Structure 1
């Protein structure tokens, strides 16, 4: 009897320890499943003002940007501060270990693109990923460009001292900030993955982002990142050299050696951001300025808009089958040319005709108004084989009219999921944006064309599409979005809504979006399950489109419109959360560091 009692208590204790371990190590699938339910849809967030506007994915970064404007900083100053703040408050995409594109419209000057895309390390080879599908390790990391790019923009256009722009992010990381439901969802989503919870390569991510008791994050928790605060302090005090040389460079290269990566000290030292001319086009009397290659966004957007300009879209209602069909066809042709021709223009020759009106007119003449083109019919010269995407965008306009449209990324949500040990920042997995299987292109969306194959120090192709739109030489719209290959089409949806259909910006961002990327030959529609679009879908299928619902919301556009009277309207998308902040009037200073 005595032994039975001992056994009984032993079983009870083991059971309690098991339950505790389920909570401590986050191994309960039910717990994590409940914690990774996407936050409920809310209205878009709207702000109005006349003295500056900031729109980004987190309330903290938008506040930081607004405060910089109110101190007398210009739109570039605010953008630098926002970008560093997002590295703290939106770790799935905000970063210092990634790269991106910043479009700048200076007052009285030409729109330019500060290109700070990552590049392949010098040890990279064309076939290095031919036999792997793993994109979440050190080998997938491209040489980061963010810090050098932000410095390049600041040196060319900034007003306030560099340190003053980085320190708000240092404070956020050191003191911590309150997690909202969108960030809780984001952190829980990465921590819920079995590989992240168990593999040694992600131990530093767990140390930084997992709660001590192993429970999921909830809105109201506080996130503190002491290692990241120290790293940002080094950058604040030493500029970009504080990242590409010295202690942080040593830690990054050491992380590469631990995790099978190939980035060297020389790769970091050689990295340079570039100021490139914007890709430009016109659409129904508006001037559209998009990012330069290696972003495909500017080229594909201009080509698709040129095609659509040959049709009177507004003759049909916005979600009529006629309108959606034409937009999908323009997307199809644009993405086909993306696959055939586009890559890093420093390494490949890009056909000059892609953004011309005559080329678009020829394509438009081939579009059947009641029949979808089959994607494989426009594949030539590509031979078809037998049969992730988290970025963040922010927009800024200052009281003098300078505008910035910035998109940057770690590539996948949470990038490589590798955190540099002792430095607190995530590394990208941008090598995944190269064509991993040379000369192999299939109908499921895998592209193997030569223009975007791996070459040492080459920049990988991007879909980031930060844009600035002008009319009569005045900025009227600043727009962009995350979302992988959907980015270009998200921006196109917003431009069509505002230009063709004269829809106010809040509704233009709120409405459902469509996406077609050539292959797979599927038309995705956010409104698929909404009853008011049922007849449209039936008609589109009769045209020959394979219409499907999106598994997750398309993009997260944070945009600003400038009204004729100078009023600024900032709108933050509902899809991933966000905040629009209007600035109070500032006394403009001149204290360039």
Structure 2
């Protein structure tokens, strides 16, 4: 029979076989006639989760700026127009490719734990985690890194001045902008939480706990002043002076930990990206304290020799092997990953192809292996969740892949009075109780325990894939623990299954993270494929929410092809 599934504003046609589910697991049971078409450009492109911010980035390219200028402008503008994830009060990772030098640089501007943080600070007397404290209190906030990271990128790799790139964000905050359906929906969904904080209620809900209507003008004058101080004073305009005083005073008055010294001491860190190969492509991605790049390369290594194209896209056999390698990677994540400045993290060992060869032996091609039977790999040291991603390519071939976050949607729901700025609740990304799950269900070990000045482990995975030594695919996603598997499936869709950038993002996804031992699936995986997977021992669970919301740019033959994942409304491709 032929039926159709409407998702993300598109119709996906499904061709399903009638009768009982088949026993074999080789051929796909579903034919995705997606016909998704990307937006095409040539002289530069910005793909982001919100149109006004993407256009702010494009405006920098039109002024003669490069990809970094556009990325920084987009980042500051998202802090105004996408408050559920865009931010000044959070942190993130930026991966950039310099066309002239053919070098890639990774800027870690992840939040850090305040100096007074302690290992057991979120535990109750009975040893359980106080979730209200880790999620929705001032103590949940780590020292913000976004402003320092964006300024560092601009000063070192951009071409325009700070006042120019922050100007669009200031104008949006000061003059206001029309509330879009996407913004109205996100504010409505979190209105109860935002209303608990008087300042967040005043700034975003008009003081009465109700989201502004679609088409209303939202003005953010306090946030405009904060942005002006940054534009005029640079780093000192946020980590010192009036803004820092307002943050520190609010922390002191409400049991938070961030001090003036914490703010003054914060610095972004440049790190070497992780590099790997997959079937002739070079994949460059995020090193620790991101777990994303390590496990992307690890899973690609595990899958590389398998005949995935013969299995068929999203067939039972393909998904079985995909799920099994996800289990292996997330098991390793639970033990081996953390802040590399405070732990030995076996990055080279985990992405080694020989390690993948040994771990691949654990995969039974016909049966699911229970997570309880999968342990992290035995690697010995040598002696001695709300997030947004955007991708940028300029006319010269410079590339930026940037993911940043305040963790939950609208962070901890607290606005610092006088700043218009939402605080992150990124401290939940630490292992408040090592060996137990965080808000995303991820099991994390001692290497990610709370400690002063340490940066929490992250799943953010800005990634660039190279073809014939040229940037070919730029991608990343929000989504907490599903970020890594979203990026993995985007890469596989584009490389193994030859999908265009729109199809690669649009087709249904699956996710497994070792614990809990269940596979989350999106709508669109055929019923008989699901039956075959269940007969192999997989526990399937329809995902109650979307698995990632990626943005991506593909570069082919001098043309740019961009797409913003339509799983959540509001994404935009800005190009010229």
User: What is the TM-score with the length of structure 2 in the denominator?
Assistant: 0.89
Alignment length (residue pairs): 531
Q: CA deviation at 1:322?
A: 0.3
Match of 1:488 in 2: 484
Match of 2:336 in 1: 341
Match of 2:370 in 1: 374
**Which of 34, 43, 46 matches 1:54?**
46
Match of 2:61 in 1: 69
Please say if residues 47 and 580 of structure 1, whose CA atoms lie closer than 8 Å, have aligned partners that are also in contact: no
> Within 2, Cα distance between the matches of 1:66 and 1:444?
34
Q: 1:400 to 1:261 in 2, by over 3 A?
A: same
Q: Partner of 1:272: helix, strand, or coil?
A: coil
Tell whether 2:307 aligns with 1:315.
Answer: no
Match of 2:189 in 1: 189
Q: Partner of 2:422: helix, strand, or coil?
A: coil
In the TM superposition, 1:59-208 aligns within 5 A as 59-107=51-99, 108-131=101-124, 132-134=130-132, 135-191=135-191, 193=192, 195-197=193-195, 199=196, 202-208=197-203
Match of 1:362 in 2: 358
Please say if residues 334 and 442 of structure 2, whose CA atoms lie closer than 8 Å, have aligned partners that are also in contact: no
The one-character-per-residue Cα deviations of 1:554-585 (angstroms, maximum 9, x if unpaired) are 1111110001x11000101111224444543x
In the TM superposition, 1:212-251 aligns within 5 A as 215-251=210-246
Q: Partner of 2:293: helix, strand, or coil?
A: helix
Q: CA deviation at 1:145?
A: 0.3
Q: CA deviation at 1:241?
A: 1.4
Please say if residues 51 and 582 of structure 1, whose CA atoms lie closer than 8 Å, have aligned partners that are also in contact: no
Tell whether 2:535 aligns with 1:568.
Answer: no
> Within 2, Cα distance between the matches of 1:172 and 1:442?
35
Q: 1:133 to 1:579 in 2, by over 3 A?
A: closer
> Within 1, Cα distance between the matches of 2:430 and 2:310?
40
Q: 1:454 to 1:444 in 2, by over 3 A?
A: closer
> Within 2, Cα distance between the matches of 1:411 and 1:467?
19
Match of 2:21 in 1: none
Match of 1:545 in 2: 538
User: What is the TM-score with the length of structure 1 in the denominator?
Assistant: 0.87
Match of 1:386 in 2: none
Tell whether 2:8 aligns with 1:41.
Answer: yes
Which deviates more from structure 2 when the two are superposed, residues 203-212 or residues 438-447?
A: 438-447
Tell whether 2:490 aligns with 1:509.
Answer: no
> Within 1, Cα distance between the matches of 2:210 and 2:569?
23
The one-character-per-residue Cα deviations of 1:17-41 (angstroms, maximum 9, x if unpaired) are xxxxxxxxxxxxxxxxxxxxxx983
Over aligned residue pairs, what C-alpha RMSD do you find? 1.8
Which deviates more from structure 2 when the two are superposed, residues 86-95 or residues 312-321?
A: 312-321
Please say if residues 435 and 452 of structure 1, whose CA atoms lie closer than 8 Å, have aligned partners that are also in contact: yes
**Which of 327, 332, 344 matches 2:327?**
332
> Within 2, Cα distance between the matches of 1:63 and 1:46?
17
Question: Structure 1 runs of 4+ off > 6 angstroms?
Answer: 441-444
Q: 1:55 to 1:337 in 2, by over 3 A?
A: same
Q: Partner of 1:79: helix, strand, or coil?
A: helix
Tell whether 2:430 aligns with 1:434.
Answer: yes
Q: CA deviation at 1:413?
A: 0.8
Q: Partner of 2:94: helix, strand, or coil?
A: strand
> Within 2, Cα distance between the matches of 1:546 and 1:515?
12
